[in-house]
Structure 1
């Protein structure tokens, strides 16, 4: 039976349910009930685009609602608004919860955008036919820049706009809301416990100004009168409280000796200002420790690493602090509690930039959902179904061609010859190829170079940062602000926006790496599933409206045994990157709780251990990718990869290369794309065999036999 195709059939080769029912003569009509338009739409690609649009609108509504609420209730000063001010632990918990919400919203928005980008760059049958007619090929099932040259200009433009609008989400969305820490300068005094004293203190100023002496007098009087602003600590507690980069809970401290000799002799030991790394001049003996007064004059290690020994000395009653008169033995401390003034803030400019990007994405996604368009081919199964329904005559005589062979041949001009002249009957090799053969050498080279350059680049920056501080930065804990691990260049920017962008550049780099990684793994997994058609009969995996024996595509585009570990490693690596390089904002206060904005800090901090952990996870992921690529495919079926030409070449089940009248041997079979299929040698009369997908029994191709 000869099936004549109309122009409309050719332009819309992904088959609807109605055409399936009219053509699938081998499928029992009673088993295939007629689907309503709503049911067909529910399985269509547009329903996913519509859901993506709805998700985008939801995120936009949330962002607009937040901006309206914040602008109405919180005054904006210098482009920043304060959402909450108070207890630092509460700010930290709020910040963690809000950033978790932002990450969820960002993931939803980027996921919706990525799906729409995949639909925009996925070819339609019209695009494929146009490329094949010019001797070129397109990619199916993987992101591809090649396809942008053949899809319509409007789709290419929308794809580019979606890419550009993703940059604000990667670079600033997570930092639209940020926290700043209120840090206090303080003075260190030495003398007996003033509680219960009656006489005024006898102060040894040690050259400090009158203001400091007045501060000590006030400290003495308030403590003597039993003010609840003061707290008595033992030596170990005192060390824990003050061995920190930025002091947020306590101010002035009085070092109390083991015995009270009955005098009121007090001394000013020193002062500690708010540590500002951009004003810091490296000195070997300080090693970046703002609370150096706790430690001996020149310890062999950094002061923070010396803290456990200090605590041991305090427990044994042998802790001493260096003062002008010599070593001063400390038994306990009297500390002044200060109000916690940490802030949870938002940046108006960054919030607006995110909303603008959000609006752009919504407009494009809604346009895609509303306008009618030819369905894109999102999976290899979509392409096979289309080519079986309407075979591509250009690929007719090339049943054993592989992606690599066509890629090589497509680089040479035709010189007036037909593309058919390129191909003669090919000998079949039953030896299975490796998974890596599904990915072209240039793609392997690109991801290897990018991955190696990223690992080497971050390692080099880590070495430079650590060596500049004598190696003390290794003691910094994950995501914790440490004087030893702050960027200290005096020319470093103090802008919130600039530091936010710089802190998130590593996230953007990893997102690009993940894009390449996922693309290669998807290509190899698709090739593995393709190869299994050479062993057993199975239904095609299609992206929309599966019918008959067809199967739905994977939700995450990868088999779950690969998708779940990949997403888990990705989430872990994103978190490690956030702990590796992060925004640091400090509001400086002086004794008496007055602001000293000249000592404010806005810079980036880093954590060497987190950087090393992130690099290690990245290397582990790349090693796993290489290990997976070394697996062998299930059969000797030619590797088509994502190449539409090689896929189309395997979809001529009714073709006989020995038949001189080829027009009679290339008629499409009715409804074959909805059945369980297997690839192999189909029965033909003549010396040259032919391999294709078929719903009937097929034979395993014979080693070194010729097929065309």
Structure 2
């Protein structure tokens, strides 16, 4: 029986399937190519790179939180992830803050850029605004536009703005350092003590010749046995060689500090003969190898305001150096190293310290110091980092949705001056007919609205007054006044605050490190009572909001002046192609990745503002300090504190950077000039539209006598006079864009 092979598919069907697959591949490739060309063009490339940068920053934040949260325990709203030497902790904190400032600057810069794109109106939205006699901003950041763009774009703009506030307030505070400082005993002893000699502790009936530990607030719970136990422990540690011997100069330098993080108890040794002579007359049984015992207490705040200048090292002062003005208590330069006798003890009991024991009058020959492992730590606040992550996600979503809306919409936003010019050349705006000399400030009128919106006959023109305007003319006077007022107040506040803090010890301004608290513990402390971490960081970062306003206002002024400068360039030199968002291939049109501020201006400005943000964060900052109280028997108890401080050096530098930015802006505004042969019409949709009419004369049906040639916006253009005043019967000329030669405006002539 014959069999017949049946093919699985016929040749025709196979060819059809092959063709279909090829068409699908070509279609997919075309879509990818279109998407790639769309997202990599002009401002869309910048927003697309914002999505990528935001995603990388998000991953960094999530990985950081996950790793630290998984490996360390949470303590009081924070997670310590490093404990060790204070110098290392400080380096980690500084490095973290630098990274945070760079990442936050990148994310906030993309956010501000996207907000400006979202607030850029479409031609349809511009026409709707012009119909109501309102103008919109072109190429500059604007809140005005938000009320005229679509609801979805307005909502995205608002989300981006709101999500920026937490970043300004808390991101820089996500990582912080906790300093450590020990309370300690400074004990004057004779050399016999080091050899195992005995001592006596004053009894109640000896108080006419000595001091009791009951006069030391933080030692009221100590018994005589507790004190003897501490003395025996230190004596044994010394004899075992576990304490470090220091010469007098080194001893003073090590303990002359507000925060003692690497040492604790110190024995102040005088020779036997001097010690014996120094003890007040008393029975022989009181001839002790231990003299005065000082309890050096760290100030904790919240006490008597008269004790605001009491320091941890006050026990070291003598009667002369200790009487210096507040903030200059016994500076190192006043010590006599060859005859050091710590005898000044005034006010320490007000902060918990004090002295007791027998009076000692002999100079110190050398010291034995107890070294301690440093316990400074670096922590993150997971709540803050989670808020940052949420804001990060919001921004990425807003960036992506903004791109999608722009691609899906039939009406593209007018993001640059060139976009607006192209639109008005293709479809002239009939609300601004016959106003070719109308400038931006002609439409910037308060109610009643500008007369420029009122219809007038074509036989009426405006007189060309001539003259050049400086860059400051691009923005409103009230914008300048408000910005300069707030910026000047901020700079003055920072400098004044630094000067006030600097009076405590002016030498410290030149030697201080930005991330250290000043050597005047309470003098540069802003708040009297301790506060918790969350409260302290929120208050400490509030000045960042003011700096953020200065940045936004400065960016707005720079955008306005530079956008106006770009507009004016179309009337100088030769013809130029329009800078648009979507340039047509093989034409004179061009494209850039910025909207109005070129990178040569934007990059230095962004770097300067980043530095200013960081300096302000160091000028007023929250510091967490763990004080180690001494308990009976030399045990310790941690007492956490939190205060706001100000750093004079950071304030001086912040004031200098802010002042330099302010001076640079003022110089640019007052020195640079716009050319005289074009009205200052940039940035304003109405004035740009008024400068883009083909002719001032209309036919009976309302169409201009002279029409723009097709695709004029694709060619190199120049703005100037195309209808001279002496060519018409009514003596009125007209200026607009043209690819051919144009003439300059003539002062005193009429134009419409």
TM range (shorter): 0.7 to 0.9
- 1:640 paired with 2:681, answer yes
1:191 Cα deviation after fit:
2.1
What is the CA deviation profile of residues 497-537 of structure 1, one whole-angstrom value per residue up to 9, with x for unaligned ones? Answer: 11111111111210111110111122112222322322212
2:118 aligns with one of 117, 120, 125: 120
| Within-5 A mapping of 1:115-194 | 115-193=113-191
**How far apart, CA to CA, are the structure 1 residues paired with 2:615 and 2:688?**
41
What is the CA deviation profile of residues 163-196 of structure 1, one whole-angstrom value per residue up to 9, with x for unaligned ones? Answer: 1111111111111121212221101111245796
**How far apart, CA to CA, are the structure 1 residues paired with 2:458 and 2:156?**
37
**How far apart, CA to CA, are the structure 1 residues paired with 2:554 and 2:254?**
46
For residues 246 and 623 of structure 1, do their structure 2 counterparts lie closer, same or farther at Cα, with a shift above 3 Å needed? same
**How far apart, CA to CA, are the structure 2 residues paired with 1:321 and 1:304?**
17
**How far apart, CA to CA, are the structure 2 residues paired with 1:596 and 1:309?**
34
1:617 aligns with one of 653, 657, 660: 657
1:434 aligns with one of 448, 466, 470: 470
Q: Secondary structure at the match of 1:320?
A: coil
What is the CA deviation profile of residues 72-97 of structure 1, one whole-angstrom value per residue up to 9, with x for unaligned ones? Answer: 22122333222122222221122222
Mapped contact 2:302–2:530 kept (Cα < 8 A): no
Aligned residue number for residue 739 of structure 2: 695
Structure 2 residue runs without a partner (length 5+) = 1-32, 203-209, 214-221, 277-287, 345-357
1:248 Cα deviation after fit:
0.4
Q: Compute the RMSD of aligned alpha carbons.
A: 3.1
Question: Normalization by structure 2: what TM-score?
Answer: 0.81
Aligned residue number for residue 24 of structure 2: none
For residues 191 and 595 of structure 1, do their structure 2 counterparts lie closer, same or farther at Cα, with a shift above 3 Å needed? closer
What is the CA deviation profile of residues 554-605 of structure 1, one whole-angstrom value per residue up to 9, with x for unaligned ones? Answer: 64842455334433432332232122111200112134775534x3211211
Mapped contact 2:444–2:450 kept (Cα < 8 A): no
Mapped contact 1:192–1:266 kept (Cα < 8 A): yes
1:691 Cα deviation after fit:
0.8
**How far apart, CA to CA, are the structure 1 residues paired with 2:717 and 2:166?**
46
**How far apart, CA to CA, are the structure 2 residues paired with 1:212 and 1:124?**
82
Aligned residue number for residue 242 of structure 1: 255
**How far apart, CA to CA, are the structure 1 residues paired with 2:254 and 2:248?**
10
1:49 Cα deviation after fit:
2.4
**How far apart, CA to CA, are the structure 2 residues paired with 1:423 and 1:137?**
25
Aligned residue number for residue 100 of structure 2: 102
Aligned residue number for residue 292 of structure 1: 314
2:384 aligns with one of 333, 347, 350: 350
Mapped contact 2:732–2:750 kept (Cα < 8 A): yes
What is the CA deviation profile of residues 649-679 of structure 1, one whole-angstrom value per residue up to 9, with x for unaligned ones? Answer: 1122x31438677514353322222322222
1:279 aligns with one of 302, 318, 325: 302
Aligned residue number for residue 217 of structure 2: none
| Within-5 A mapping of 1:533-552 | 533-537=570-574, 538-545=576-583, 548-552=587-591
Could you tell which deviates more after superposition, 201-210 or 170-179?
201-210
For residues 398 and 149 of structure 1, do their structure 2 counterparts lie closer, same or farther at Cα, with a shift above 3 Å needed? same
Aligned residue number for residue 318 of structure 1: 339
2:246 aligns with one of 227, 233, 242: 233
**How far apart, CA to CA, are the structure 2 residues paired with 1:359 and 1:608?**
37
Mapped contact 1:657–1:690 kept (Cα < 8 A): no
What is the CA deviation profile of residues 186-217 of structure 1, one whole-angstrom value per residue up to 9, with x for unaligned ones? Answer: 01111245796243456678422533443222
Structure 1 residue runs without a partner (length 5+) = 1-34
What is the CA deviation profile of residues 437-470 of structure 1, one whole-angstrom value per residue up to 9, with x for unaligned ones? Answer: 110122122212322443455567668x759xx8
What is the CA deviation profile of residues 382-422 of structure 1, one whole-angstrom value per residue up to 9, with x for unaligned ones? Answer: 2112222322222231110011112238743889x954469
**How far apart, CA to CA, are the structure 1 residues paired with 2:459 and 2:129?**
18
1:574 aligns with one of 591, 613, 617: 613
Aligned residues: 660
Aligned residue number for residue 525 of structure 1: 562
Aligned residue number for residue 217 of structure 1: 232
Mapped contact 1:53–1:369 kept (Cα < 8 A): no
| Within-5 A mapping of 1:20-59 | 38-59=36-57
**How far apart, CA to CA, are the structure 1 residues paired with 2:293 and 2:41?**
76
Mapped contact 2:101–2:610 kept (Cα < 8 A): no
- 1:676 paired with 2:700, answer no
Could you tell which deviates more after superposition, 96-105 or 448-457?
448-457
Question: Normalization by structure 1: what TM-score?
Answer: 0.85
Mapped contact 2:65–2:385 kept (Cα < 8 A): yes
Mapped contact 2:697–2:704 kept (Cα < 8 A): no
1:260 Cα deviation after fit:
6.8
Could you tell which deviates more after superposition, 396-405 or 634-643?
634-643
**How far apart, CA to CA, are the structure 2 residues paired with 1:335 and 1:422?**
95
**How far apart, CA to CA, are the structure 1 residues paired with 2:403 and 2:562?**
29
For residues 408 and 429 of structure 1, do their structure 2 counterparts lie closer, same or farther at Cα, with a shift above 3 Å needed? same
Mapped contact 1:173–1:351 kept (Cα < 8 A): yes
1:207 aligns with one of 209, 212, 216: 212
Mapped contact 1:389–1:669 kept (Cα < 8 A): no
- 1:603 paired with 2:639, answer no
1:218 Cα deviation after fit:
1.2
Aligned residue number for residue 388 of structure 1: 425
What is the CA deviation profile of residues 354-397 of structure 1, one whole-angstrom value per residue up to 9, with x for unaligned ones? Answer: 22222222332232233423432222222112222322222231
Could you tell which deviates more after superposition, 500-509 or 572-581?
572-581
What is the CA deviation profile of residues 293-345 of structure 1, one whole-angstrom value per residue up to 9, with x for unaligned ones? Answer: 2223443234657433145x32xx13331167465423332110012111111
**How far apart, CA to CA, are the structure 2 residues paired with 1:303 and 1:320?**
21
For residues 439 and 391 of structure 1, do their structure 2 counterparts lie closer, same or farther at Cα, with a shift above 3 Å needed? same
**How far apart, CA to CA, are the structure 2 residues paired with 1:594 and 1:613?**
43
Mapped contact 1:535–1:635 kept (Cα < 8 A): no
Could you tell which deviates more after superposition, 300-309 or 423-432?
300-309
Aligned residue number for residue 522 of structure 2: 484
1:406 aligns with one of 439, 443, 446: 443
- 1:663 paired with 2:663, answer no
